[in-house]
Amino acid sequence: MTSDYPFLTVEEVPEYIRNHPRLASHVDAGNLASVREIGDGNLNLVFIAKDNAGRGLVLKQALPYVRMTGESWPMTPERSRFEIQSLEAHAALVPELVVRILDKEPGRYIFAMEDLSDHQVWRGALNKGEVHKGVAAEVGRYAGAVAFGTSVFGMDRLELAARQEVSVDPELCVITEDLVFTEPWAGAERNEWLPQNRADVWEFQADHRFGEAMAEAKYFFMTHAEALLHGDLHTGSVMVRKPEGSNEADSVKVFDSEFAFYGPVAFDVGATWANYAIAAARAYALGEDDRAHWCLGLVGETWHAFEAEFRRRWPERRDPRLWDEEFLNRLLQRWRNESWLFAAAKMSRRIIGAAKTTDIETLPPEIREGAARGVLRMARSAVVERWADSTPNHFQELAEWLLVEARTS
């Protein structure tokens, strides 16, 4: 464990920028207007520096520990390297959809990236009831490009093997394995929920079919090395922007990929679905039924864009000798089915597990109760219903029905 490196401070940032010539063209270090720490301090330090001309940049430094719900445990800052690698690998495929890295200093686990102050975190925008049209499709396109471009289909065989060797941080994988798959269903001290949801959690944890689904999901997560995933592709990992007076997003940037690893393609897709359902649960709880309906429509938007992008790149696959259109169709069908499975895991962990979402947590308890219940029921239904009909449309209708039925006021 490397932890004896100096942590960056607000005071030190101007000098840091001056000492890194590549950063000089992005911000005027001699004429800074502000330097702020904007990270949550749980995993990373994040500084934003702005000059008087309005230009800026962001510095991100990995901390040698993770804090979560009070607990703290050591965590290699090497994850910074995995984040940089994945951002670069993904930017090589869809540069317009990935936050741009400006410079990196691996020795101190720091990298600099473009300032996206004119963007907002998508989850925050959703929580405020804002609509950014087109984002879900762009996220799907990103996932499709990554699924193809970092896999056996898009990469030279030996380069792929070399990249796989350096692209997995097991310490971070363990966090996902425990928090996402094991703990919500099997129980853990750091789990938490409203007293009003106690019966829901009890029922959920008594649902044997869900446990079996998680056993399989976790095994797939740990053994199916299909593509260099983002690893944590929720609405809080996407920055969005729209022009004044429009609801059409004109910029979408994926960031925060420190959980990147070679894993099952459907894990990223399923993560987005889960977060759309959670956003919808919030909207229903607030009585914004039209917007809730729109949130659930994002499931299909992301899937169809994912599929379209993967199919668009398919003719470029490295080895077409066996992998034909029929194989492609079956592969996409399997991924669609597995997206339900991973979405179910992600929904349950956000309601019961240690790391929650502001979508649900900022609701007043009387309506939070029903929102949490609805998401939990959707998670339980998803692992079964995917075998009957794995279309995004079915996901949308099922979630709509369960979330509306469960809401409280």
**Residues at the site binding a copy of itself, with contacts judged by CB under 8 A:** 152, 157-158, 160-162, 164-166, 168, 170-171, 173-174, 177, 181-182, 185-186, 208, 211-212, 214-216, 218-219, 222-226, 319, 321-324, 326-327, 330-331
State the minimum distance, in angstroms, from the CB of residue 165 to a copy of itself.
5
Nearest CB to a copy of itself, comparing residues 222 and 404? 222
CB of 77 to a copy of itself, least distance (A): 16
Distance CA(214)–CA(216), nearest Å, equals: 5
**Among candidates 79, 110, 78, 103, which has minimal Cα distance to 8?**
110
Query: Is residue 188 within a helix (H) or strand (E), and if so which, with residue range?
Result: none
Nearer residue to a copy of itself within complex by CB, 160 or 281: 160
Closest CA to 211 of 323, 379, 70: 379
Tell me whether residue 121 or residue 227 sits nearer to a copy of itself (CB atom): 227
Least distance in angstroms from the C-beta of 262 to a copy of itself:
9
Question: Taking a C-beta distance cutoff of 8 angstroms, is the pair 282, 127 a contact?
Answer: yes
Please name the helix (run of DSSP H) or strand (run of DSSP E) that holds residue 129, with its range, or none: none
Do strands 101-105 and 238-241 pair parallel, antiparallel, or not at all (unpaired)? unpaired
Q: Using the 8-state DSSP alphabet, how is residue 262 labeled?
A: E
Q: Minimum distance from CB of 171 to a copy of itself (Å)? A: 7
**Residue 226 or residue 359: which is nearer to a copy of itself going by CB?**
226
Find out whether 146 and 228 touch, Cβ atoms under 8 Å.
yes
242/346 with CB nearer a copy of itself: 346
**Quick one: 322 or 388, whose CB is closer to a copy of itself?**
322
- Quote the least distance from Cβ 202 to a copy of itself, whole Å: 18
Backbone angles phi, psi at 311, to 5 degrees: -65, -35
CA angle 14, 18, 23 (to 5 degrees): 100
* Shortest spacing between CB 174 and a copy of itself, in angstroms: 6
34 bridge partner residues: 50
| 133 strand-pairing partners | 248
